[in-house]
Chains A and B, each alone.
Chain A
């Protein structure tokens, strides 16, 4: 989830002594003020950077599974700190030999998760889009070397029986530890390298509607924070332990980065619905197909005062959004951004705003930053409280990277040759590398058509929030309507509800995939690259039109057609075992699943 990524972490090992929580709060203003200084230093040095080339990278989070075949149980393996250690040793060895590091690894919140990224960014030609799947396959093959005999590595957005009674972890631990205080998950799910503390002072209460099947029963009548007919979860671990697929794209200059930030933010909910892959929570089929709602709740560190439930005494603002949410403000300097599109009016820090304006930042960007900086730091390190603001960005990243927005606008790191970037954070991770690569490729091509055709997706930002709440509903892609701008080609006003935006419909709109195909025809693209890109886009088109199922629908159907399923929304240990085995089989190419993948996959080797 990103809580681990304080700027000074090196190879996943925390440097320095973390401060106890009471002192973190004490240094909050210091960290914020210095963080803004650091931003200003970076901004003034890099705001005029031009002609940065197209580079991009992806991040995938993996889960390690431990099978107990005799008992037909698939569990989460808590061995990833050890696996990660070996993987990082391999990277160090590669560096020592002066060779190219092709894949790179990071720890994640949960001790069953690992994050893998390409060693160097991809780019700058369309041909390099084909490297994405190859690199993803290399990551799996590399990690596989360090697994035990009974272990496997998969990419599922969430583990279906996480938090269930019985054995879902290897090794097993009892719930209700001193840190998480969860009735469902033990503290041992947290990676020991991660510093965890809950700012809000009370456990989160997440209720998501259960999928009502013919024999589903009412749940948890005896728990006061649980709603009837809902799946109740009581810990941030349920969200932080989710796996996702992220893409970071470098823009040619700050103006382009701001434009892409806005446009991709509008498309975020659509991409969430398209990649939906998490219909099971705590062992029950839910009426939600995506992780987003759970993460909004888990990432919400607002105290009662900040939520307006008590008068403001210790806290400074009433805040209407979680730290994990869609974006609060559009920021593009384009004339296509009309001021009325920013209709959320989220609170922001007026003092920080004024300081930014006084130091040469424009209003839109100043408001964006001063919104992000209303938050308190969640951690701090004693050794790095005092930094050189001209060369460090740790305080800036402390606040900036603990705002988990659907899209992130990323300034260059200080004293680097890296440019302004945008990180797209909505997508759910898919079972196979082909699918994950297809979605990464699709996002890159989407940015190319946005820039080539000057596409305008703007809708009022409040409508983006509405779209997000629609996107995580069960089978939203095929059954719900999303707000979408009527004419994306010209500055034309009109907001309309419809969801046939991928292939287009009738005479009104050619559809994003058709625009991408048109764009490819204007490019100098060799026949093999064109052929493989065509396969990826064909796959995306089939998902978008419902010809093949989303991962969430496929999982749901798997459960409901399992011989041991009792039509009661319950995903038993045995169903879970068969599901995980099936997922592994599909990913390895040993099992065919045409309703999920069709037959459109190329074999890039």
Chain B
């Protein structure tokens, strides 16, 4: 597979496919890693290359010709993780490319055959929720500006009717207040890590009620795909690519059947690229007619 057609490839996108159909003892330990492995093991049977952009896509054998029918019967929620290695800039490693928003949406829309998602939650790497934090000391000014730039992109997608509801993850009351001062469209969802041993974060709960914010839970790890883990999977599955690949973003998506509380489809898309590639490629996503 290390033929000339790969010489221009600098970006590799891997799809896990429907993880609900791949459930076994391993997926309960690390769902993303074990399903990525399933897809990469199959890479020789099917892959797509976009030569213009230099993107190699590795589909999942569990996704073959899956297209969603009766869109209105489903609620689709996505969560975009900006990984620690999301930026390739050494000077400013915490830059968060806003282009990841349109990239992830584009690939999801193609995958599922949809034109909008119901909720889009964005997770900025390194943020941790703490109901008691008095000042947001782990978030410096530059980081904050970067968050706002990403948010502007989300607002644009929202105005184009591509996203019905915007959300953030691990935002404390303080972070929210700072954020609300500078953004136009406020987040309607805050997704917080659920720790069963702890009491309810009442401060945040009250704030959320006052500001009409849905306080949802998740149990995603702080770093959902460390570079070392990703590279080990590539090595274990003998992925035939000479350059090193850094994972940049992960998009987790859930397709839920409304009024039945059944998960119809759940999966991940991982975008990775070589250390020096320009990850700011964009897809124009116009407004829905």
Residues of chain A having any CB pair with chain B under 8 Å: 51, 53-54, 123-126, 252, 448, 451-454, 487, 489-490, 507-510, 514-515, 517-519, 521-528, 530-531, 534, 538
Contact = CB atoms under 8 A, between A and B. Distances in A.
A503 to B, nearest CB: 12
A534 B28 CA distance: 18
Interface in B209-248: 214-219
Nearest to A602: B200
A524 B260 contact: no
A510 B217 contact: no
B28 A510 contact: yes
Contacts of B266: 522
Interface stretch (B17-25, B46-54, B84-92, B145-153): B17-25
Contact of B261 (A448, A454, A521): A448
Nearest to B75: A524
Given A124-B260, A524-B75, A453 B23 contact: yes
Which one of B73, B201, B262 has the greatest number of beta carbons of chain A within 10 Å?
Answer: B262
Nearest to A124: B259
A507 B262 contact: no
B83 interface: no
B214 to A, nearest CB: 6
Nearest to B200: A531
Given A508-B25, A527-B192, 4 more contacts: A448-B261, A524-B214, A524-B216, A526-B215
A514 B73 CA distance: 28
A510 B24 CA distance: 8
14 contacts: A448-B262, A451-B262, A487-B24, A489-B24, A510-B25, A521-B217, A522-B256, A523-B254, A525-B217, A526-B215, A526-B216, A528-B200, A528-B205, A530-B217
A525 B261 CA distance: 10
A523 B261 contact: yes
A518 B28 CA distance: 7
A514 B24 CA distance: 12
Given A452-B263, A518-B28, A527 B217 contact: yes
Contacts of A526: 214-217
B160 interface: no
Nearest to A125: B261
Interface residues of B, number: 33
A534 B196 contact: yes
B77 interface: yes
A448 B263 CA distance: 8
Interface string B61-100: 0000000000001010100000000000000000000000
Nearest to B220: A521
Given A490-B24, A518-B28, A526-B215, A54 B263 contact: no
Interface of B: 20-21, 23-25, 28, 31, 73, 75, 77, 119, 192, 194, 196, 200-201, 205, 214-219, 254, 256-257, 259-264, 266
B196 A53 contact: no
Nearest to A488: B23
Contacts of B256: 522-524
B261 A54 contact: yes
A527 B261 contact: no
Contact of A454 (B20, B75, B219): B20
Contacts of B261: 54, 124-126, 448, 523
B215 to A, nearest CB: 5
A448 B262 CA distance: 6
Nearest to B262: A451
A464 B28 CA distance: 28
A522 B24 contact: no
A525 B20 contact: no
Contact of B119 (A453, A510, A522, A524): A524
B220 to A, nearest CB: 8
A31 B263 CA distance: 43
Contacts of B119: 524
B98 to A, nearest CB: 25
Contacts of B192: 527
A448 to B, nearest CB: 5
Contact of A489 (B23, B200, B205, B215): B23
A523 B76 CA distance: 10
Nearest to A128: B261
A131 B258 CA distance: 19
A524 B77 contact: yes
Nearest to B260: A54
Given A454-B20, A508-B25, A538-B196, A527 B215 contact: yes
A527 B260 contact: no
B223 to A, nearest CB: 17
B35 to A, nearest CB: 13
The 7 tightest CB contacts between A and B, nearest first, are: A53-B259, A452-B263, A124-B259, A510-B28, A530-B217, A451-B262, A527-B215
A179 to B, nearest CB: 47
A125 B260 CA distance: 7
Nearest to B255: A522
A487 B77 CA distance: 30
A509 B73 contact: no
A454 B263 CA distance: 10
A125 B256 CA distance: 11
B240 to A, nearest CB: 29
A526 B213 CA distance: 10
B20 A453 contact: yes
B216 A514 contact: no
A356 B21 CA distance: 36
Nearest to A529: B217
Name the residue in B21, B28, B73 with the highest tally of chain A Cβ atoms < 10 Å from its Cβ: B28
Contact of B216 (A487, A509, A527): A527
Contacts of A523: 254, 256, 261, 263
Contact of A522 (B25, B194, B201, B254): B254
Nearest to A448: B261
Contacts of A522: 254, 256, 263, 266
Contacts of B23: 453, 489, 515
A220 B257 CA distance: 59
Residue of A126, A454, A517, A531 with most partner-chain B CB within 10 A: A531
A507 B26 CA distance: 9
Nearest to B263: A452
Contacts of A508: 25
A514 B214 contact: no
Nearest to B121: A524
A489 B201 CA distance: 36
Given A54-B259, A451-B262, A519-B263, A527 B200 contact: yes
Contact of A521 (B24, B75, B218): B218
Contacts of B254: 522-524
Contacts of A453: 20, 23
Of A124, A126, A451, the most chain B CB neighbours within 10 A belong to A451
Contacts of A51: 73
Contact of A53 (B24, B75, B260): B260
A541 to B, nearest CB: 11
Contacts of A452: 20, 262-264
A521 B73 contact: no
Nearest to B259: A53
A522 B260 CA distance: 14
A531 B200 CA distance: 8
A335 to B, nearest CB: 15
Nearest to B197: A534
B216 A521 contact: no
- Count chain A CB atoms within 10 A of each CB in B192, B217, B266 and give the residue with the most: B217
A103 B255 CA distance: 35
Nearest to A123: B259
Contacts of A524: 75, 77, 119, 214, 216, 254, 256
Nearest to A445: B261
Contacts of A519: 263
A304 B123 CA distance: 71
